Amino acid sequence: MSEVMQQPALAKVSDSRWPLGSYLPAILAVAGALLMVGLRVQLGGERFISDGALMMLALACYLTAAVFHLMNLYAPSEMAQRVGLWTASAGVFFNLSSWGVRWIAAHDRELTILARNGYGPEQMPWFFRYIPFANLYDLSLAFAFGAGITTLLIAHRKSFRFLGAVTLPMASIILLLARFIGNEFIDLPPILDSYWRPIHVGIASLSYGVALVCFAVAVLYLLKDGVKTEMMGVWSSIFCLAVLATISRFSVFTTATYSASTFLPSASGGRIPIPLRVDIPWVGPMLVLAGLLLVGVIIEFSIYLSKNDERARLWGHRLLKAALVVQAVSIVFLVSQIKTLTDIGSRIQQQLALDPVEYERLGRWMAEQDGLKPDQIAQIPVVQLQQAAVQFVGQNGSRLFLSTNANPVELAALITAFAATLFVILFSFRTDKLRAALPPKEKLDSLMYKTASVAFAGLAMLLITGAVWANESWGRYWGWDSKETGALVAWLTYAAFLHTRISRGWTGRSSAYFALFGFLLVIFTYLGVSYLLPGLHSYA
Cβ density class 485-501: b for 16+ within 10 Å, e for less: bbbbebbebbeebbeeb
> For the segment 276-313, what is each residue's pLDDT rounded down to a tens digit?
777 788 888 888 899 999 999 999 999 999 999 999 99
pLDDT at residue 13 in the model: 40
Q: Is the pLDDT at 317 greater than 70, yes or no?
A: yes
> For the segment 57-72, what is each residue's pLDDT rounded down to a tens digit?
999 999 999 999 988 8
Q: Is the pLDDT at 74 greater than 90, yes or no?
A: no
Q: Is the pLDDT at 217 greater than 80, yes or no?
A: yes
> For the segment 176-213, what is each residue's pLDDT rounded down to a tens digit?
988 888 888 777 777 777 778 888 888 988 999 999 99
pLDDT at residue 294 in the model: 95
> For the segment 359-377, what is each residue's pLDDT rounded down to a tens digit?
778 888 888 877 888 888 8
Distance from C-alpha of 57 to C-alpha of 50, rounded to nearest angstrom: 11
pLDDT at residue 528 in the model: 65
The 3-class secondary structure across 32-95, one letter per residue, is HHHHHHHHHHHHCCCCCCCHHHHHHHHHHHHHHHHHHHHHHHHCCCHHHHHHHHHHHHHHHHHH
pLDDT at residue 535 in the model: 53
534 versus 417: the higher-pLDDT residue is 417
> For the segment 94-103, what is each residue's pLDDT rounded down to a tens digit?
999 999 999 9
CA 447 remoteness from chain centre: 23
pLDDT at residue 125 in the model: 62
Q: Is the pLDDT at 481 greater than 60, yes or no?
A: yes
pLDDT at residue 484 in the model: 80
Look over the chain and give the mean of its residue pLDDT values, rounded to a whole number.
Answer: 83
Distance from C-alpha of 172 to C-alpha of 347, rounded to nearest angstrom: 34
Distance from C-alpha of 466 to C-alpha of 200, rounded to nearest angstrom: 6
Distance from C-alpha of 102 to C-alpha of 357, rounded to nearest angstrom: 42
pLDDT at residue 17 in the model: 57
pLDDT band at 86 (very low <50, low <70, confident <90, very high): very high
How many C-beta neighbours within 10 Å does residue 102 have? Answer: 25
For residue 246, with 0-12 CB atoms within 10 Å meaning exposed, 13-18 middle and 19 or more buried, which class applies? exposed
DSSP-derived pairing of the beta strands 401-402 and 271-279: unpaired
Q: Is the pLDDT at 239 greater than 80, yes or no?
A: yes
pLDDT at residue 11 in the model: 39
- Residue 278's DSSP bridge partners are 260
pLDDT band at 158 (very low <50, low <70, confident <90, very high): confident
Cβ atoms of 281 and 273 closer than 8 Å = no
Distance from C-alpha of 463 to C-alpha of 458, rounded to nearest angstrom: 9
